[in-house]
Amino acid sequence: MTDERGAELLRGGGGSHRATFLELFLDVVFVFAFTRVSQRLITDVATGGERLPLELAQTLFLLLALWMVWSLTAWATSHYDPEQPPIQAVMVGSMCGSLVMAVSVPDAYGPHGLSFAAGYVSIQLGRSIYLTVALRRHSQRHLSSRIVVWSAVSAVPWLVGGLVGEDLRLLCWGLALAMDYLGLVIGWPVPRLGRATATAWTVTGEHLAERYQQFTIIALGEMIFVAGVGFSGSDFTLLRWIGLLDAFATTVLLWRIYFHRAGSVLVEAVAEARQPARLGRSATWTHLTMIAGIVTAAVGYEVAIAEPGGHADAVRVAAIVGGPALFVVGRARFEYEVFGRVSRSRVIGLLLLVLGVPLLSRLPLLGIAAGVTAVLTGMAVADALRARGRPPERPASPM
């Protein structure tokens, strides 16, 4: 028997599909969280050393944990009605837990490990328990109850990891993240209930697509923030001014490349898909790739601003070139998800970035950054020339 009070929490056919102000408020917390992740990466790149691979893995795990929190919250507000007080309570709780995670990021593998893990577990487990209770006898409670089981199991290595030493913490949190992402991929199967299929997520496609667009803007804004903070704390030399303007130009180009065609029609693509949840789930991994690329690019350009004439070692080249290259990889997959094809400019641009590393490595850091900006500019110009005089392309997702 379906509980009518539980049914009120689900999104209906009417009402606005736009993101609410409370959701945008949550995004403000993630702007702060991203700056903390970027600062960790900047420190990793600056210090280098034999432990650099482990330190990069540590920062990656923190980014993956933050992305899991944001993406599942976005899916929840696309599945449930964010205007309902119980769902707003979920949002506020997620916001509080995200803030705890964000302030713990710098020393998450030091004295603040338990607070980071507790913030994560409280969101993942608390949200699912709360929704399971709030939905009462409604059939949709089985979706959140599956997540309760998986979150409860993964909470053990999360919390244990917060209590042990740095290297063991990395292993524990790696195991916990593997469990959480595996559950997301296979639908959190549990005995008797089975797994949740993509169709179980009766998401509002327009809302979910808009949330992805907004989060991309957040990441791009964080790139400007990191570059601006790095510049303002240094001497205002001519080379640093050029580096700042180059970082700004790259941010604008990444915005242009993202929203050209595919990014601008994502809402329509998800709305018209036969299985919006399937396309939305695929877009989750695509946007994770692009976000990771943007965060890495922010670190690379901050390093180029700090030391425009600095030596181009492998780590710095990887940050300056690898970030945009990773973004292009995600953007190519994104184009396939929306249109079922990949433009030649994406492939050519990616090849230029990768194959040009030996040549770019001979330049100072600012020269490498300028070379990357030139490749992105060529990609954006190719997009504009291909679209000139043609009607807007309609989405044709193979999903």
In this predicted structure, the answer to whether residue 3 has a pLDDT above a threshold of 60 is no
Of 108, 103, 81, residue with least CA distance to 22: 81
- Counting every residue written for the chain, the total comes to 399
User: Which band of pLDDT confidence, cut at 50, 70 and 90, is reported for residue 195?
Assistant: confident
Burial class (CB in 10 A: 0-12, 13-18, 19+), 4: exposed
Q: If you search the block for the tokens 């469990």, which residue do you land on?
A: 179
SS3 category, 11: coil
SS3 category, 242: helix
pLDDT tens-digit readout, 125-167: 999 998 888 877 766 677 788 889 999 999 999 999 999 998 8
Please state, rounded to an integer, the average pLDDT across all residues of the chain.
88
What pLDDT, on the 0 to 100 scale, is given for residue 164? 94
Q: For residues 166 and 110, is the Cβ–Cβ distance under 8 A?
A: yes
Helix (H) or strand (E) holding 278: helix 276-306
Compute the distance between CA of residue 118 and CA of residue 288 in angstroms, rounded to an integer: 23
Of 333, 354, 344, residue with least CA distance to 398: 333
In this predicted structure, the answer to whether residue 247 has a pLDDT above a threshold of 70 is yes
SS3 category, 180: helix
* Other beta carbons within 10 Å of 388: 7
SS3 category, 36: helix
CA Rg value for the chain: 22
Of 4, 236, 304, residue with least CA distance to 137: 4
For residues 83-105, give the mean pLDDT: 92
What pLDDT, on the 0 to 100 scale, is given for residue 1? 43
DSSP codes, 111-136: TTHHHHHHHHHHHHHHHHHHHHHHTT
Compute the distance between CA of residue 190 and CA of residue 147 in angstroms, rounded to an integer: 9
Compute the distance between CA of residue 52 and CA of residue 65 in angstroms, rounded to an integer: 20
Burial class (CB in 10 A: 0-12, 13-18, 19+), 158: buried
pLDDT tens-digit readout, 36-65: 999 888 888 777 777 888 899 999 999 999
What pLDDT, on the 0 to 100 scale, is given for residue 364? 95
What pLDDT, on the 0 to 100 scale, is given for residue 7? 66
Compute the distance between CA of residue 273 and CA of residue 79 in angstroms, rounded to an integer: 16
% of the chain residues with pLDDT over 70: 93
CA dihedral (133, 154, 207, 282) positive or negative: negative
Burial class (CB in 10 A: 0-12, 13-18, 19+), 192: exposed
Least confident of 7-16, 245-254, 351-360: 7-16
Cα distances from 51 to residues 57, 77, 100, 328, in angstroms, run 10, 40, 27, 28
What pLDDT, on the 0 to 100 scale, is given for residue 368? 96
Those residues whose C-beta lies under 8 Å from the C-beta of residue 351, and which sit 6 or more positions away, are none
What pLDDT, on the 0 to 100 scale, is given for residue 193? 77
What pLDDT, on the 0 to 100 scale, is given for residue 13? 52
Q: For residues 305 and 234, is the Cβ–Cβ distance under 8 A?
A: yes
What's the DSSP call for residue 190? B
The phi, psi pair for 194, rounded to 5°, reads: 75, -155
What pLDDT, on the 0 to 100 scale, is given for residue 160? 97
Q: What angle do CA 278, 280, 286 make, to 5 degrees?
A: 110
Of 286, 270, 218, residue with least CA distance to 34: 218
In this predicted structure, the answer to whether residue 318 has a pLDDT above a threshold of 70 is yes
Of 396, 213, 240, residue with least CA distance to 303: 240
In this predicted structure, the answer to whether residue 393 has a pLDDT above a threshold of 90 is no
pLDDT tens-digit readout, 337-372: 999 999 999 999 999 999 999 999 999 999 999 999
Q: For residues 95 and 29, is the Cβ–Cβ distance under 8 A?
A: yes
SS3 category, 392: coil
Q: Identify the structural domains of the chain with CATH numbers, from first to last.
A: 4-200 (no CATH), 205-387 (1.20.1410)
Rounded to two decimals, the pTM is 0.89
